[in-house]
Amino acid sequence: MPASQPRSRARDRNNVLNRAEFLSLNQPLKGNQESRSSSRKQSSQAGAAGAQNTNPKERRQSQQLPEEDCMQLNPSFKGIAFNSLLAIDICMSKRLGVCANRASSWGGARSMINLLGITGHGIPWIAGTLICLVKSSTLAGQEVLMNLLLALLLDIMIVAGLQKLAKRKGPYDVNPGLLDYLTMDTYAFPAGHASRVAMLSKFFLNHLVLAIPLRILLVLWALCVGFSRVMIGRHHITDVLSGFVFGYLQFRLVELIWMSSNTCQMLISIW
């Protein structure tokens, strides 16, 4: 034992790590340990005080954040179905936009398709109704024409309001024409031409005596005008279909507020 002690002391003296400059690497100072422990305690106390000072609403929001993240990462079935249908609508509308510009597959027929769309525009129909109203001499004809004028004005106001609310753009970057700006038909949803031709066709079928071939041609005209708006790239398919639905609802609204012959005569006399 006495011989082993001098040997161990000699080893300690020869060990480089036992020198003064390396003591901090082997054995940290007590002051550092105490400062670190005190800083940890202070941070823990500050965190506890901050947790106590926070409002219950903030605690609830912090607890709800992981759930909201999970909802964003895992959307519902309705959200997936809606986004899928929207993607299909955009894809099909772009494929059917064969006259969207001159470089399209049917670009040469663009002027003819635009001419077909003008037949369903509101300005020519309002002008034609006013001319017929001035030249009409029968009470029944004036009654029908006054209610038709009311239906056209309601169609322009309702479609313009819905388009301002939705603010949906078409599948292609196509600038609206001058007549579109006059009727405030600058957005895609719902299609103003589609709602107008649906309302007009239903109005004529109910209030005019037409032969069966003319009734079929009237329905085909409404369908062609509606889907011509998809071909020139101004509307999606769902915009046109929703326009047909809104046009029918507008017809039902006009039937509910139908003006009688006496009311029409009073309005004509004022005008």
- Tokens 């759930």 sit at which residue? 67
Residue 193 is a catalytic residue: yes
CA-to-CA distance for 258 and 241, rounded, in angstroms? Answer: 26
Where would I find the beta strands (DSSP E) of 87-192?
A: none
Tokens of 110: 């663009």
Indicate the SS3 state at residue 76.
coil
235 is catalytic: yes
Catalytically annotated residue among 121, 207, 235, 236: 235
Angle among Cα 209, 198, 89 to the nearest 5 degrees reads 155
For residues 29 and 49, give the distance between their C-alpha atoms in angstroms, rounded to a whole number.
Answer: 30
Distance CA 246, CA 214 (A): 23
Residues belonging to the active site: 193, 235
